[in-house]
Structures are given as structure tokens and as C-alpha cells.
Amino acid sequence: MSFKASAAHSSRIKKPSKVQAFKRSSTGLSPYSSLPRRKPLQRAATKPETHDDEEEDYFGDRLDDVGLIETLVTDLSLRDVSQAILYIKERMWTQMPERAAGMNSTRIAEVLNFRASLPQIVTISHLQALLNSPTAVEKEIAELSRGGAVRKIKVDGRGSMGEVLILVKDLDHMITQSDLDQNLKERFMKLLHENPTAVTMSRSKVSDEDAKLLMHKGFLTSSNSKWTTTDAFSRPGDGSRGTMTSLNSISKAASGSLGAVGGQGAVHAAGGSGGGIKTPSGIGDFSLALPTTGPFLKLLSNARSHLLSLLSKSKFREAPESLLRQRWDGGIAADDAANAARRNRGEFIGVLPGRTRKWKQFYGISFEWVLGECVGAGLVEVFDTGSIGRGVRAL
């Protein structure tokens, strides 16, 4: 019996056999059929795609708060009210995209016409957010009003926007461009220039006929009315108190005529769109107003609500300013060289501006403008995070 043994026979190490998968087989089986089979991996279910309006919140914790931002403006040359008014007016709208706007010519014309129809007014709360000195701002507004540079207009209703300012030259331009009689335009502008600080006008200074025309065009409203619209239709004999025609005369008018519906301007006479045209009786004063102020206030109120809804998507109702700006813009692609190259290659680079809510509903209001309005109204506050720029928090 031999005690000689080689390591090859006694060792447990075995040489790997040749893989049969690389051998040609004439049986017609796949060359990979001899490889060991493994169970498929259990993958977690993928998250459903989120819509733009339901964007995922990437900030689960509160942002660092180093301190509140005293003023939103970074331009140190902005120091007085006149400059702030021009600053706000110039930055209210985003410029119309030159390429890939996502809007046809009809929609572009509609957006531009809507912008041009709004009055050139600025809310005092927005000025406070930029200049951050309430006392100094009020004093300067009073001085500019006495000097005939700006006009203060009191706005009631639609969320109580308070008081707004308009440059006197812009107000004179609105009166000049209106379709009022030329003599009435001159009388009304002279009356305004003689009373630069007045927010109301006495009935003794405006004739009955001039008051009706100015109220019909939206330059005056009735600040103290002793009647309501229900009084105009409660009793036939009292219909003449609030309207130019009574129910007795309306009932006798031919069906389908203007007299059957109260005559021309019956809506204004009944108290709609201008506060109600009442036969002046020397009681109360007229309040100064501006045409198309209603659409402006409606747009402002909806824009504020939308910005707050974007903040509510975050857990603590706060977000970095850069992220909030992206949400407001709707995820459109930036206008830089890289995206321009992708656009030229025909690649998809983001949502077209015309398909976002910023342009469909708000006609291209800029993020800076609506943020200033919300800060001035006390709806949000801006603070310094110390690491990722400024943050915005809902109050």
C-alpha cells in the first residue's frame, strides 16, 4: 500500500469545469439554458407621477431662520416714494416670451390689452414692504399729495385693499383718453388739481349731470347713499328714488324696448358697477374712483391666494424663495444658452409659459410683485436662512 498522495487528489479545491453555455449544442437549446436560475428581485412599487400642481415637498424640516428681512429691495438707490412707485409699476408684469410662448396671436393680444386696460395704481402696503418705514412713507405721501405729484384713492370692498396711489400724470392721461366731453374733462381735471389731497368731492362742486356722467365712466362713486337697490323695486311709486324710471312707467313700456328694462344705463342707476347713480339730493359726498379698478383688485386678490396655496404645499408652510419662484412660474425652462441649444435640437425642456397658471389666469404677473403685495398685506414674511438664501413663510 502506497502512502504517496498528491495534493490534487486530496484537496477539496476543484477546478471549475468549462461552462457548457459556450459549447455549441445541436439539441437546439439556448446557450444560456444551463446557467443557474435566480428568483426575480422584489422591487418596491414606484411612486405615482405627481402633477405640477401637486409638487413633492423636498424640505421636511423647518428652514433655518437667521432673522427677518427688513426690506425686499436690494437696490440701494431706491429711497423715496416716487422711485418706489416707478419700481413697482415696471416690475409688475413679466415680459412676453419672444419664442416658444405657448400662446397664439389672439391670446397674446388679449394679455397685452388686459394689461393696458388696468389703472396704473400702486397699493400703499406694497410701498411699506419696499421702504420699511411706515411713518416716513406716510409723511412723504402727504407731501407729494399736497404738491400735486400723486393722488390717493380710497378703495372699499374686495378684501379691503385700503388705499392706493396713482401718479397725477397717469390720472390726467386716463381722463384725457376717456370718451367724456372735452369740456367735462377740463372741468374735472381742474377740480382735481384744485383739491390735490381730497379723496371725496362735495356734491355742491359737481353738477347733477356731470356727476351722472362721471359715475357712469367710473371716476366717481356715491360714498353715502340713503337708499338701497331693493328700495328701487320694492314699491312702484318709489322706483324713481333710485332709478331714472319708475316701475309704473316700465310696466307701460312696450315689450322688448329699452324702456321695458329701465332705460339706458339702468344697471348703473340700480346700483351696479359704480356704486349706484342716485339723483343727487345734496346729502353725502362723492368718492373718487378709477375705471377698471375692479379687475385689478380681483387679479390682486387671486394672485395673493395662489401664492399662499403654493406655500401650503410645504409641511410648515415655508419654502426657499427660489423654490417658491419655480412654483409660481410653473416649471418653465430658464432662458439660457443650454436650454436654447436643447430647444434647437428639438428636445423637450419644460412646460411652455402659455400652459401655466401664471399666464392663463394671471396674465404674466411677476413673482417679485406678488411677493411684495403679500408681504405688505401681512400674509407672508421673508427671512434669511443663512445657507440657501431667503425663505418665505406664511403667517
Instruction: For residue range 152-171, list pLDDT tens digits in order.
Output: 998 875 545 678 999 999 99
pLDDT for 373 equals 93
What are the beta bridge partners of residue 154?
Answer: 163
Question: Residue 282, by phi and psi: left (phi above 0), alpha (psi -120 to 50) or beta?
Answer: left
- At 220, phi and psi to the nearest 5? -135, 150
Distance between CA atoms of residues 71 and 371, nearest Å: 12
Residues 6+ apart with CB under 8 A from 309: none
pLDDT above 50 for 213: yes
pLDDT above 80 for 100: no
Distance between CA atoms of residues 178 and 17, nearest Å: 98
Q: Are 145 and 196 in contact (CB under 8 A)?
A: yes
Distance between CA atoms of residues 105 and 39, nearest Å: 59
Distance between CA atoms of residues 201 and 210, nearest Å: 12
Distance between CA atoms of residues 135 and 286, nearest Å: 28
Q: Are 150 and 166 in contact (CB under 8 A)?
A: yes
**Helical packing angle, 182-194 and 168-177, nearest 10°:** 160
Would strands 162-167 and 220-222 be described as parallel, antiparallel, or unpaired? unpaired
Rg (CA), the chain: 35
pLDDT for 47 equals 45
Condensed to tens digits (0 to 9), the pLDDT of residues 104-162 reads 999 999 999 999 999 999 999 999 888 878 888 999 999 999 999 999 998 875 545 67
pTM: 0.68
Residues 6+ apart with CB under 8 A from 282: 203, 204
Q: What angle do CA 151, 157, 158 make, to 5 degrees?
A: 105
Cell 486530496 locates to 10
Condensed to tens digits (0 to 9), the pLDDT of residues 258-306 reads 555 555 555 444 444 444 444 444 456 888 999 998 899 999 999 999 9
Distance between CA atoms of residues 316 and 62, nearest Å: 7
